[in-house]
Amino acid sequence: MSKKENDGEKKLFAASAAYILGLAPIQTIRGSSIQVEAYKKALSASKSLYEALEISENSSEVLTLINEKNERARDLYSKTGIQWPF
């Protein structure tokens, strides 16, 4: 991976973490519509899991959200090669 690609992933992950925590960062996403959609789904699943953990949802719902987030992360990796860190 080139330094430019690594820097781009770092910025993407920082903006993603901020969004999951409830902030509104601005980040330009480039890629095919399939790649962008996979990213959006992984991001959304991670945010849903974070929110459920914040309000102490029941464990079965949290496990369901963990499984969904992991599935979305695998899909993102298969379409982009990006390992989802959240």
pLDDT (tens digit, 9 = 90+) per residue, 36-69? 999 999 999 999 999 999 887 678 889 999 999 9
Contacts of 46 (CB under 8 A, 6+ apart): 16, 20, 69, 72, 84, 86
pLDDT computed for residue 66 by the predictor: 96
Residue extents of the structural domains in the chain: 3-80
More confident residue, 2 or 13: 13
| Tokens representing residue 60 in the block | 């079965």
Three-state helix/strand/coil letters over 11-72: HHHHHHHHHHCCCCCCCCCCCCHHHHHHHHHHHHHHHHHHHHHHCCCCHHHHHHHHHHHHHH
| φ, ψ of residue 22 in degrees (nearest 5) | 100, 5
